[in-house]
Structure 1
Amino acid sequence: MGIAFIFPGQGSQSVGMGKALADAFPEAKAVFDAADDALNEKLSTLIWEGPDDALKLTANTQPAILTVSVAAHAVFSKRFATAPSFVAGHSLGEYSALVAAKAMPLADAVKAVRARGTFMQEAVPAGVGTMAAVLGMEPGKIAELCAQAAQGEVVSCANFNDPAQTVIAGHTAAVERASELIKAAGAKRVLPLPVSAPFHCSLMSPVVPRLEAVLGTFANPVVPVVSNVEAAPNSDGARVKELLLKQVTGSVRWIESVQAMEKAGVTKVVELGPGKALCGMVKRIAKGIETFNVEDPASLEKTLAALGA
């Protein structure tokens, strides 16, 4: 059976995530301890106890979700003997996928995404940029309307999540103009997102040189990693840095990533980490793929039973 492990991005966080896994499984607790050591702070306490406002800050959210995802992977992979054919992650989740594929150590990944979150927050002053989710319109049409709305500012497609959901990002006024055009052209809904920065658009370009200085070298992934920017598998450690840097300003090509895995024979995906957002997207992209998730002991047990492990 072709199976892929997928890892969620920002937006799936909640206070208390991963606590039940850490309480039940020493290998999960070890991941939280290692993340605390890498950052030299009690990230685990923030994840499990909050406050929610602090967890929502992107410099905290990114290492928090990565840590929970890697903990879920540690527990699941110990009990599930089949190696995945591919791993992939949505935005920040690509770093979790790289840890799972042994291309980068957990400590390096936690530090990298803490820096990535900090740099993204600092790239654009609060209020200058935003994002919005468009529901019920073909992605190509959305891209056209963004181009019309730009008027010298930035607004573009940031995430191609599934056939009915595209996220746009850019200058606040340009996103508002695009939202009005998109609504007028017949989209079901346009929802402004409660984000602190306009991710995955050219306004993030100041992040790239700063992140480049932080990212080290990468080992060859032991499992091909389907990258966000190319929507194609990569097994060359020497290319990872370039793909992660392009990802900062590039679109998350999630629809094509799932289609590429399906075409290569994937029939099952397991989402490792908080929530089930990616499972929902996969179902809407590829009807033939079965979805499972692991975020706590109950979902672990259910997934292992369903996969006959």
Structure 2
Amino acid sequence: MEKIAFLFPGQGAQYRGMFKTHWVRYPEVRQTFEEASDTLGLDLFSLCSEGTEEELTRPQNTQPALLTAGVAAYRAWTRETGVVPFALAGHSLGEYTALVCSGAIPFNETLAIVRQRGWLMKEAASAGKGGMLAVNGMTGPEAEALLSELPEFDGQLAVACYNSSRQQVLSGPEAAMMEVERKLTARGMKTIPLKVGAAFHGPSMADAARQLETFLRERAASIGTPRQPVVSNATALPYEEGAESIIRGLVLEMTEPVLWKQTMEYLRNQAMEAAIDFGPQRTMKHLLLQDDPAAVVYAFDFPEDHEKLFSPEWKARRRSRSNRRLLEACLVAAVATPNRNEDRMEYTEGAVKPYREIEELLRESERRGAEPTDDDVRAALELLTVILRTKRASEQEQLERTNAIAFEIHRKAGSL
């Protein structure tokens, strides 16, 4: 299975005690939570494992917690297997996780962005109480028709997420949610209030979206092009090159619906062979299976799937790689290594710029219409070494990250 999509959930996937087992089992998970805690000045793992349900549901807490959990899972698994996705997608907040894991935005920058996004959403929620309601057994057109039955909430009620052909999410004021729930219950339909604390992906987020755009544009220099396609929530198409496309998409998805059903259709049309849900619980897995019961999909946080993901079958995928795969493996290793360097200028020079140089080696080979050369791979390995030193990885970690790639170079050259 070469075409594997990586999926990341949004708010609502969190639960008290999430990732406790993984924190004990994988050093990458511990390191990622420690990196996030240092960046935010907040003990994020204690919040996830010991905080109250109310604390964990606050957007300014939930969003960095879920981002960190997704990045931690990605780092733990890719370090073990070296498998590179053909595309990534994230549901709402999960889109930020996908962008981090694709190398488009550094993890520490994204933590600041989602923390701010959470505060902006909290402020918008405080201005007018609202909520979100998932409805099972309802199509997208049926959800849109329901809005017309409630003219008193015109301009306030919205379809927030097209999750699958059988599940939609509505967003709006508390009074509107109560009326929607009453109507649908009378029709025998199942509704699920979401643990999000506000009416996201709707008109009430307009002011928050404008403020988020300003915050993102101040950080445009740190936003690059994903190394693998990341499918936008707002368009269900991959982001274009450069920061502008990403900023527009992230701002748009604040007030526009999450086109998740359409995103999965896009991935299937691109011949997706399997998918991995890297979030807490298995929300993304369930949504994919609703429309494609035969899909091959694993959930990192589900014990049975977890054991399969760390089986010898997956680890064996590392054994033979093309030069393109080796360059991609350098990028994966760069993203998967936690950063312990708080000097922003040094990080930009020694981590961000070398990372972009490896990306350029890949793009140049694509422009030539040829496989990257052995010299390209050696150059990428040297750049990865610079990145690991800049991130202040231990000598042991540096050796582990680089030796597997160096081994492949020697094996391909016939010296092993």
The residue aligned with 1:278 is 284
Is 1:120 the counterpart of 2:121 in the alignment? yes
Unaligned runs of 5+ in 1: none
The residue aligned with 2:392 is none
Specify which of 158, 161, 164 is matched with residue 159 of structure 1: 161
What's the secondary structure of 1:48's corresponding residue? Answer: helix
Specify which of 171, 175, 193 is matched with residue 177 of structure 2: 175
RMSD: 2.0
Equivalent residues of 2:12, 2:195 under 8 A apart: no
What's the secondary structure of 2:132's corresponding residue? Answer: strand
The residue aligned with 2:239 is 234
Aligned-pair CA distance for 1:100: 0.4
Give 1:253's aligned amino acid: L
Equivalent residues of 1:147, 1:155 under 8 A apart: no
Equivalent residues of 1:126, 1:196 under 8 A apart: no
The residue aligned with 1:27 is 28
Give 1:268's aligned amino acid: A
Structure 2 CA distance for aligned equivalents of residues 307 and 250 of structure 1 = 40
Structure 2 CA distance for aligned equivalents of residues 50 and 211 of structure 1 = 27
Structure 2 CA distance for aligned equivalents of residues 8 and 308 of structure 1 = 23
Aligned-pair CA distance for 1:105: 0.8
Specify which of 239, 250, 254 is matched with residue 244 of structure 1: 250
Structure 2 CA distance for aligned equivalents of residues 178 and 48 of structure 1 = 34
Structure 1 CA distance for aligned equivalents of residues 14 and 127 of structure 2 = 21
The residue aligned with 1:255 is 261
Aligned-pair CA distance for 1:76: 0.7
Equivalent residues of 1:133, 1:168 under 8 A apart: yes
Aligned-pair CA distance for 1:154: 1.1
Distance 1:37-1:165 versus aligned 2 partners, 3 A rule: same
Measured against aligned partners, the alpha-carbon deviations of 1:255-289 in whole angstroms (never above 9, x if no partner) come to 01011001101020001121101100001122342
Give 1:264's aligned amino acid: Q
Equivalent residues of 1:145, 1:181 under 8 A apart: no
The residue aligned with 1:98 is 99
Alignment of 1:43-122 (within 5 A): 43-122=44-123
Is 1:144 the counterpart of 2:136 in the alignment? no
Structure 1 CA distance for aligned equivalents of residues 313 and 181 of structure 2 = 42
Distance 1:278-1:307 versus aligned 2 partners, 3 A rule: farther
Q: TM-score, normalized by length of structure 1?
A: 0.93
Percent of pairs with identical residues: 33
The residue aligned with 2:225 is 220
Give 2:260's aligned amino acid: W
Give 2:201's aligned amino acid: H
- After superposing the two structures, state which structure 1 stretch, 165-174 or 14-23, moved more: 14-23
The residue aligned with 2:393 is none
The higher-RCO structure (CA 8 Å, 6+ apart) is 1
Give 2:228's aligned amino acid: V
Give 1:53's aligned amino acid: E
Alignment of 1:7-26 (within 5 A): 7-26=8-27
Give 2:49's aligned amino acid: W
Equivalent residues of 2:276, 2:298 under 8 A apart: yes
Larger Rg computed on CA atoms: 2
Aligned-pair CA distance for 1:81: 2.7
Unaligned runs of 5+ in 2: 316-416
Give 2:230's aligned amino acid: V
Give 1:230's aligned amino acid: T
Structure 2 CA distance for aligned equivalents of residues 283 and 307 of structure 1 = 23
What's the secondary structure of 1:125's corresponding residue? Answer: helix
The residue aligned with 1:192 is 193
Distance 1:14-1:174 versus aligned 2 partners, 3 A rule: closer
Distance 1:192-1:40 versus aligned 2 partners, 3 A rule: closer
Aligned length: 308
What's the secondary structure of 1:234's corresponding residue? Answer: coil
What's the secondary structure of 1:270's corresponding residue? Answer: strand
Aligned-pair CA distance for 1:56: 1.6
The residue aligned with 1:37 is 38
Aligned-pair CA distance for 1:12: 1.2
Is 1:266 the counterpart of 2:266 in the alignment? no
- After superposing the two structures, state which structure 1 stretch, 129-138 or 169-178, moved more: 169-178
Measured against aligned partners, the alpha-carbon deviations of 1:11-36 in whole angstroms (never above 9, x if no partner) come to 11122222322322222222111101
Give 2:168's aligned amino acid: T
Aligned-pair CA distance for 1:52: 2.7
Structure 1 CA distance for aligned equivalents of residues 30 and 50 of structure 2 = 15
Q: Between Structure 1 and Structure 2, which shows a larger proportion of strand residues? A: 1
Give 1:31's aligned amino acid: T
Distance 1:26-1:296 versus aligned 2 partners, 3 A rule: farther
Is 1:294 the counterpart of 2:296 in the alignment? no
Q: Between Structure 1 and Structure 2, which shows a larger proportion of helix residues? A: 2
